[in-house]
Amino acid sequence: MNISNLLKVAWDAILRNKTRTLLTILGVVIGIASVIAMVSIGQSSSQSITEQVSSMGTNMIMVMRANQRRGGVSMGSDNSQSLTISDAERIKNEAKFISYVSPSVSASGQIVNGNNNALGSLQGGSVDLLKIRKFELAAGTNFTDDDVNKYSKVCVIGQTVVKNIFPEDSANVINVVGKDIKFKGIPLKIIGVLESKGSNSMGQDQDDIMIAPYTTVQKRFLGNDYLQMIYCSASSEEVADQAVAEVALLLRENHKLLDYQDDDFEVRTQAEMLSMMNSMTGTLTTLLAAIASISLIVGGIGIMNIMYVTVTERTKEIGLRMAIGARGKDILMQFLIESAILSLIGGIIGIILGLILSYVGTSLMNMPFVVSYTAIAVSFVVCAATGVFFGWYPAKKAANMDPITALRYE
């Protein structure tokens, strides 16, 4: 029997039992749809994380105070006083692969204007902080080096702060430029408003921000000379690793660390953050896909179940086919093709359903919709294999029937 006749025979049999066909493919549809949806949503979330991290600047390098240990007891990183302004200046003056450097300090407290108030934090940085963290100005100007030197009482604020503290000006942010805002009771003059960046991958609102010269924050709010962090920007993404090594070397020198001593600081890049987050979402996606593939296996067993019943139910038909000249091989192929067609139809419907589900899911979660072609190709192959694998046993049973017994079967 040639292949086109086989396909015709199998297809006719499928059409003869539409309800059974629908019920059989349902299991595969659900299995494939959930695999596709899980993988797509997983990839969407990892892409949205990537987009958000790169919106923070892919070249960004963060130098943080290390978690210090004394006699095995962690002292916490907040109490460490290892980063100073001289570290920042040394990086700025000597590092070849670093284009921008900004010290970073922050103070938290009440932000007040008239009757409006909110809890917030004031970030202190150099004039380069906006460039490193990829903030754009929507109105006004950034502060200057002069402001840094004079501890000027000026600040640049984000859109959320405008919304909370100056609700009447939120439609027209230019109006707040030049107004005063009180932070911890000390009035600061607003000289600029930042463009909105939305929330980051951790769900933090990146627009809920107030930036002032770091000297202002240190002298007027914190009363110390230490830095909490140093933000640097590698001159390009390619040299990020060299820049990290260079910064570490400079800091060890500056801190006069001996060879056996551990770093008293940590250097992190955005790329590291990114790969950390991606491995997190990757693990989650794998887990979800693994759960979904269990439903695919259940769907496959459903096919086997139905094919098994079908073979028994159609014993007389098998006997007749053998009597009119079907060889065991023809019967085997007929039932194998039937189950392969069933699972392929299920697979195609499942892929479409899975794409719809992931489209709805990602748009509900405000994530980009990513079509995973690999997942589609893999599910297609898997469901064809499922059909053949789970169809094999029932088909073999049919092929091995004795025509005389099958013909007399009631």
Partner 1 sequence: MNEKTTNDGSVVNNNEAIIRIEDLKRDFIVGSETVHALRGVTFDIKRGEFVAIMGTSGSGKSTMLNILGCLDKPTSGHYYIDGVDAAICSKDQLADIRNKKIGFVFQSYNLLPRTTSIEQVELPLLYNSSINAKERRERAEHALELVGMANRANHTPNQMSGGQQQRIAIARAIVNDPVILLADEATGNLDTRTSYEIMSLFQKLNEQGVTIGFVTHEPDIALFTKRQVMLRDGKIMKDNLVETQSAQAALDALPASSDY
Please spell the DSSP secondary structure of 335-368, one letter per residue.
HHHHHHHHHHHHHHHHHHHHHHHHHHHHHHTT--
7 binding partner 1? (CB under 8 A):
no
231 vs 129: CA distance, rounded Å: 7
Kindly tell me which of 2 and 115 has the beta carbon lying closer to partner 1.
Answer: 2
Biggest distance spanned by C-alpha atoms of the chain: 105
309 binding partner 1? (CB under 8 A):
no
19 binding partner 1? (CB under 8 A):
no
Give me the sign of the Cα torsion angle 83, 86, 91, 92: positive
Applying CB under 8 A, among 226, 330, 348, 389 the residue interacting with partner 1 is 330
Applying CB under 8 A, among 69, 96, 150, 329 the residue interacting with partner 1 is 329
93 vs 99: CA distance, rounded Å: 10
CB of 5 to partner 1, least distance (A): 5
332 binding partner 1? (CB under 8 A):
no
273, 119, 132: which is closest to 208 by C-alpha?
A: 119
407 binding partner 1? (CB under 8 A):
yes
CB of 12 to partner 1, least distance (A): 7
What's the burial of 364, exposed, middle or buried (CB within 10 Å: 0-12/13-18/19+)? Answer: exposed
321 binding partner 1? (CB under 8 A):
yes
Amino acid at 13: A
Structure tokens given for 107: 């103070």
299 and 308 Cβ atoms separated by less than 8 Å: no
328 binding partner 1? (CB under 8 A):
yes
What does the per-residue mask of binding to partner 1 show for 258-297, with x meaning CB under 8 A? ----------------------------------------
- Residues in binding contact with partner 1, number by CB under 8 A: 24
39 vs 372: CA distance, rounded Å: 7
3-class secondary structure, 264: coil
Binding piece for partner 1, criterion CB under 8 A, among 6-14, 290-298, 364-372, 381-389? 6-14
403 binding partner 1? (CB under 8 A):
yes
Binding piece for partner 1, criterion CB under 8 A, among 55-63, 85-93, 189-197, 318-326? 318-326
205 binding partner 1? (CB under 8 A):
no
Kindly tell me which of 69 and 329 has the beta carbon lying closer to partner 1.
Answer: 329
1 binding partner 1? (CB under 8 A):
yes
Binding piece for partner 1, criterion CB under 8 A, among 51-59, 175-183, 340-348, 402-410? 402-410
3-class secondary structure, 213: strand
Find tokens 């046993």 and name the residue. 393
CB of 407 to partner 1, least distance (A): 7
CB of 14 to partner 1, least distance (A): 12
53 and 274 Cβ atoms separated by less than 8 Å: yes
CB of 384 to partner 1, least distance (A): 24
88 vs 71: CA distance, rounded Å: 29
CB of 391 to partner 1, least distance (A): 20
Within 114-221, strands assigned E span: 116-125, 137-140, 154-157, 180-183, 186-194, 210-213
Binding piece for partner 1, criterion CB under 8 A, among 3-11, 95-103, 270-278, 293-301? 3-11
153 and 216 Cβ atoms separated by less than 8 Å: yes
Kindly tell me which of 15 and 364 has the beta carbon lying closer to partner 1.
Answer: 15
CB of 13 to partner 1, least distance (A): 9
158 and 246 Cβ atoms separated by less than 8 Å: no
409 binding partner 1? (CB under 8 A):
no
- The pair phi, psi for residue 199, each rounded to 5°, is -90, 155
Applying CB under 8 A, among 27, 319, 391, 394 the residue interacting with partner 1 is 319
Structure tokens given for 2: 């040639």
Binding piece for partner 1, criterion CB under 8 A, among 59-67, 198-206, 232-240, 321-329? 321-329
94 vs 232: CA distance, rounded Å: 13
List interacting residues with partner 1 (CB under 8 A): 1-2, 5, 8-9, 12, 16, 316-317, 319-330, 403-404, 407
